Amino acid sequence: MSTTPELIPDLPPAAADAPAPAPAPGSRGGVDVDVVVPVHNEQEALAANVRRLHRFLADTFPFSWQIVVADNASTDRTAAIARGLVRELPHVELLRLERKGRGRALRSAWSASDARVVAYMDVDLSTDLRALLPLVAPLISGHSDLAIGSRLARGARVVRGPKRELISRTYNHILHALLRARFSDAQCGFKAARSGAVRDLLPAVQDDGWFFDTELLVLAQRRGLRIHEVPVDWVDDPDSRVDIVATALEDLRGVARLLAASPVVRFVAIGLLSTLAYALLLLGLRGPLGTAAANAAALAITAVANTAANRRLTFGLRGRVGIKRQYALGAVVYGLTLALTSGALAVLHGLDPNPSRPLELTVLVLASIAATVTRYVALRSWVFVRGVAELTLTPPAPSPTPSDPT
């Protein structure tokens, strides 16, 4: 089935039913903030909560805004109710998708948005709406690239059962341990981002389900984007139909996929292959060159290949910009590795003037493995740091003036 979104423009309400004036313009293009509400079979909660959100934005929000109900393959009356809301309320749109997936709904809505900032919140409005302005203000001003509501940050007030609390904290501990995440709450349904940052990230996000949020944040962090956290007041929806076990398993599969694609894992894989190649070259060259010369030659050959592979695969650098500097600094790193392995060989010969060949090889390989840690730190913080910064960091958007709420 097609996933082409069905956009239904807002229609003017009857004069007798007109709500208080809102700060949003009459069309979606050019608003400051698009607030997306992804829904699937939410006929019971949709109307009341969208009206509540609309009243809040119209009465208190200082920036121009638009509400987009993103219906992903509902089979109940959700779409019909949303169409009624479009006719009833100004600045409300419906985006209809024929395939299920919260991530798919957000991807479609955010990709089609002309707003400067895109946001989303769960339809149950579990998060206190007063956190919306602190969420989007750093994005409007250009001081941050993404913003997340956090139930685990200091100052948050959360009401939910012990089971959900335990699962949430365990999941975020897994993200910190395996993916080195620096954000505190990946799955809170209350997030926003600069449109430019989202457009750059979305092509790299593979998940279209519940893991979409986590993947988006991990990729943003890896690219050096600025993530702002807002402690929120949050009350658990007792009628939530989310399958916790199935969602947790899906998230763990996503974590494993991101872990396999992480720079550290790629560096380790390249390091293992380099060490194997080094050992084979050392064995082949030791006879004609001697141990010391064979060690230097094997390290030189593998160092060039290692630098090239890490430049492309670990740090994602392409082209020839900065390549001479990077290879020159890579040669310095090679010198440090050579000094470490030669020193280990000298210590061995000081202890045993005639060590066996297997013992020599073992000592050199172990020294080479120990040098891998030094090489990673040097490559990341010294050799490729300028190229990585140029590749990942984007300048902040210019600070706008908030719209006049009157």
123 to each of 46, 50, 164, 273, 366, how far by Cα in Å? Answer: 7, 8, 19, 49, 56
Residue 384's pLDDT is what? 65
Q: Is 308 within 8 Å of 270 (Cβ atoms)?
A: no
The one catalytic residue among 34, 207, 213, 251: 213
- pLDDT category at 364 given cuts 50, 70, 90 is confident
Fold type of domain 1-125? Spore Coat Polysaccharide Biosynthesis Protein SpsA; Chain A (3.90.550)
Express as a percent the part of the chain with pLDDT over 90: 50
Residue 17's pLDDT is what? 34
Q: Report which of residues 335 and 171 the model is more confident about.
A: 171
The residue whose two tokens read 């992804």 is: 38
Residue 9's pLDDT is what? 40
In tens, the pLDDT along 82-113 reads 999 999 999 999 999 999 999 999 999 999 99
How far apart are alpha carbons 169 and 258 in whole angstroms?
19
Residue 314's pLDDT is what? 75
In tens, the pLDDT along 223-234 reads 999 999 999 999
Task: Produce one character per residue of 123-162: b if its CB has 16 or more CB atoms within 10 Å, e if not.
Answer: bbbbbebebbeebbbbbbebebbbbbbbbbbeebebebee
Of 38-47, 201-210, 286-295, the poorest mean pLDDT is in 286-295
Express as a percent the part of the chain with pLDDT over 70: 83
Sign of CA dihedral 107, 111, 112, 118: positive
Q: Report which of residues 76 and 7 the model is more confident about.
A: 76
How far apart are alpha carbons 125 and 49 in whole angstroms?
7
383 to each of 248, 329, 338, 358, how far by Cα in Å? Answer: 39, 6, 17, 34
* 213 part of the active site: yes
Amino acid at 216: L
Kindly tell me if the per-residue pLDDT of 6 is higher than 60: no
Q: Report which of residues 312 and 36 the model is more confident about.
A: 36
- In this prediction, residues 115-128 reach a mean pLDDT of 97
Segments making up each domain of the chain, as ranges: 1-125, 130-190+208-261, 263-392
